[in-house]
């Protein structure tokens, strides 16, 4: 295909040798299949900030590292320099997360380089060598649903052990590769320790997995892995291989129903006695 404008400089620099086709255009980026010598790779071209949707919200960018206070001030003011810096921070966050997670053994696309707003990474493939489908577009048996779910819960744990919460994990951001599920799309990933919303995001990520796979394997709908994982993490007791039950005992006392009924009866008796006493007194 004709080289898209944003990929021309990578071609000029010899970083890629040709553009084969465009993959699905997502909410925040356009994704292309490109040739690099003998290999086929994936180029993710970020859309301009103004064309993007919801995810650059305050929640996600909270506590994101910026180089210095002048950049932080510019970002807060929303000057052009500030917007550019914010843009950079957003795109870099995905590259950082990919390197960090790959190093922690999480199955994510292998990143190759980041150049002028384009991320060059491994093309995740299915058994035929074609770009892998999203989970959302895949069909599987209940057994496979249980297996994928278990593997993804392990990946979530491994990510959290590496200090990262995905923040937008769902069947739309997981590809089904020949070797199993692969997590993609991480520019909104948050720092588990430094972001006040990390817990909520982790719970939502895990809930999305449960609800999606629960459609095929309903037994999963009874599980509560998110709360269990977060509780272990907070106690500093989470390891990549910590056994999980999928159950979580919330800390509220069970209601003493008999006691409550006794209180009600007592109150009723007391009230009756008072009425009797008053009518006698009149």
| Site of interaction with Mg ion (CB under 5 A) | 26, 173, 185
3-state secondary structure the chain: CCCCHHHHHHHHCCCCCEEEEEEEECCCEEEEEEEECCEEEEEEEECCHHHCCCCCCHHHHCCCCCCCHHHHHHHHHCCHHHHHHHHHHHHHHHHHHHHHHHHCCCCCCCEEEEECCEEEEECCECCCCCECCEHHHCCCCHHHHHHHHHHHHHHHHHHHHCCEECCCCCCCCEEEECCEEEECCCCCCEECCCCCCHHHHHHHHHHHHHHHHHCCCHHHHHCCHHHHHHHHHHCCCCCCCCCCCCCCCCCCCCCCHHHHHHHHHHHHHHHHHHHHHHHHHC
Position 29 contacts ligand ADP (CB under 6 A): yes
Residue 151 interacts with which of Mg ion, ligand ADP, none, CB < 5 to 8 Å by class: none
Q: Which of 27, 70, 151, 268 binds ligand ADP (CB under 6 A)?
A: 27
From Mg ion, ligand ADP, none, which one binds at residue 132 (CB under 5 to 8 Å depending on kind)?
A: ligand ADP
Strands 164-165 and 174-177: unpaired
Q: Check residue 188 for interaction with ligand ADP (CB under 6 A).
A: no
Is there binding between residue 132 and ligand ADP (CB under 6 A)? yes
168 is a catalytic site residue: yes
Q: Which is nearer to Mg ion, 94 or 96 (CB)?
A: 94
Does 96 engage in binding with ligand ADP (CB under 6 A)? Answer: no
**Binding of ligand ADP at residue 120 (CB under 6 A)?**
no
Residue 178 beta carbon to ligand ADP: minimum distance, rounded to whole angstroms: 12
User: Which among Mg ion, ligand ADP, none contacts residue 124 (Cβ within 5 to 8 A by kind)?
Assistant: ligand ADP
Options 42, 135, 165, 176; binder of ligand ADP; rule CB under 6 A? 42
**Residue 102 is a binding residue for ligand ADP (CB under 6 A):** no
- Of the candidates 17, 185, 256, 265, the residue annotated as catalytic is 185
Active site residue 191: no
- Interface with ligand ADP by CB under 6 A: which residues? 23-24, 26-29, 31, 42, 44, 109, 121-124, 131-132, 134, 173, 175, 184-185
């Amino acid at each position: 295909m004709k080289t898209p404008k944003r990929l021309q400089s990578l071609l000029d620099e010899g970083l890629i040798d040709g553009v084969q086709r465009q993959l699905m255009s997502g909410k925040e980026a356009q994704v292309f299949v490109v040739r690099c010598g003998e290999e086929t790779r994936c180029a993710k071209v970020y859309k301009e900030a103004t064309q993007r949707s919801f995810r650059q919200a305050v929640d996600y960018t909270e506590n994101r590292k910026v180089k210095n206070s002048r950049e932080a001030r510019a970002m807060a003011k929303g000057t052009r320099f500030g917007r550019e810096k914010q843009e950079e921070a957003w795109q870099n966050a995905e590259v950082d997360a990919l390197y960090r997670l790959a190093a922690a053994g999480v199955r994510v696309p292998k990143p190759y380089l980041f150049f002028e707003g384009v991320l060059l990474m491994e093309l995740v493939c299915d058994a035929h060598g074609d770009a892998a489908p999203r989970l959302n577009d895949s069909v599987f048996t209940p057994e496979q649903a249980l297996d994928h779910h278990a593997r993804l819960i392990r990946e979530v744990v491994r990510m959290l052990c590496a200090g990262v919460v995905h923040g937008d994990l769902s069947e739309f951001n997981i590809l089904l590769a020949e070797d199993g599920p692969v997590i993609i799309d991480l520019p909104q990933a948050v720092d588990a320790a430094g972001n006040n919303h990390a817990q909520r995001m982790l719970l939502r990520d895990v809930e999305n997995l449960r609800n999606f796979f629960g459609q095929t394997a309903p037994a999963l709908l009874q599980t509560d892995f998110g709360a269990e994982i977060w509780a272990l993490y907070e106690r500093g007791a989470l390891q990549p291989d910590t056994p999980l039950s999928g159950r979580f005992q919330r800390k509220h006392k069970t209601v003493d129903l008999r006691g409550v009924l006794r209180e009600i009866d007592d109150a009723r008796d007391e009230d009756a006695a008072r009425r009797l006493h008053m009518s006698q007194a009149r």
